[in-house]
Amino acid sequence: MKRDRPVPIFKDPSKATSPPLSEEARAECEQALGRALPAAYLELLAQEANGGKLRRDLFPHPEVEGGARIGYLLGVGGPRGVAALQILAGHWKYPVAEGVLIASEGPKALLLDYAAGPEPSAAEPSVVFVDMKHPGGPLCVELAPDFASFLAGLVDGTPTCDWVIPSEVRLEQAKASLVAAGWEAAEDHYGIHRLTREGLELRLLPNNERDGDGFAYVEYSEFPLVAQLHGEREAILAAAGGVGEALGGAAVQVQTPAA
């Protein structure tokens, strides 16, 4: 009998990016920010992990193609906590004037937006997603009216269809074959080579993914390690055969979408 268990928010609580949350750290952080952090956010950090990589890393939204992907959440306290890393918001100039950064992957970020709150202590901020390099110009979308609703909408965005690519198939060779098969090359991100088609995203990940102490980095390599197909289950099933064929038929499919 299948048990319906909620998927944890964080991937590995033992690799939290900040020390266990304390009342002192919370107070210092909120004083530095000039804002009261949402209760649901603090509860998550206290009960699961005080920051780190996410297992539930995708928020489906009609205005964000493929959904908003959030790799991690900042914790409270320490050199990699929320207060310390607000400097990234200034660097990227995210268009959220009353925002508090809680995750940043360069041009893409997740922020708490306090614009609607009359007082810092009473405000319940909305959660917004920003993409500064969106093809149509900077994108700023409200994902949820509050942090609790944001958590409820997060899903596990783990790829549902993977292929291992033999080392003799070079990266540019694989990309060219996929483009010839109708895939369109998209902007690379941290060494992940992306192609899109009809709402699907195909990612070619170079060798040697490594843990970056709570942040995801992928080293560049001459050969791709794996191809990952992201999207709706039915669309993945329809496209899977073509992907394998475009990769020369030598690629080995290692996982298929679950029923």
Question: In this predicted structure, what is the pLDDT of residue 230?
Answer: 76
What's the predicted TM-score (pTM) here? 0.62
Residues 73-90 pLDDT 10s: 999 999 999 999 999 998
Domains of the chain, first to last: 13-153 (3.40.1580.10), 161-255 (3.30.310.180)
Average pLDDT, the chain: 81
Question: In this predicted structure, what is the pLDDT of residue 250?
Answer: 46
Helix axes 233-246, 171-180, angle to 10 degrees: 120
In 136-209, where does DSSP find H-type helix?
A: 147-153, 171-180
Residues 194-248 pLDDT 10s: 899 988 888 887 654 433 333 333 444 444 467 778 777 677 777 877 887 787 6
**Mean pLDDT (whole number) for 29-45:** 95
Find out whether 244 and 252 touch, Cβ atoms under 8 Å: no
Strand 99-105: give its sheet, edge to edge: 99-105, 108-113, 126-131, 139-144
Pairwise CA distance, residues 216 & 85, whole Å: 16
Residues 111-129 pLDDT 10s: 999 986 545 445 589 999 9
Pairwise CA distance, residues 131 & 120, whole Å: 26
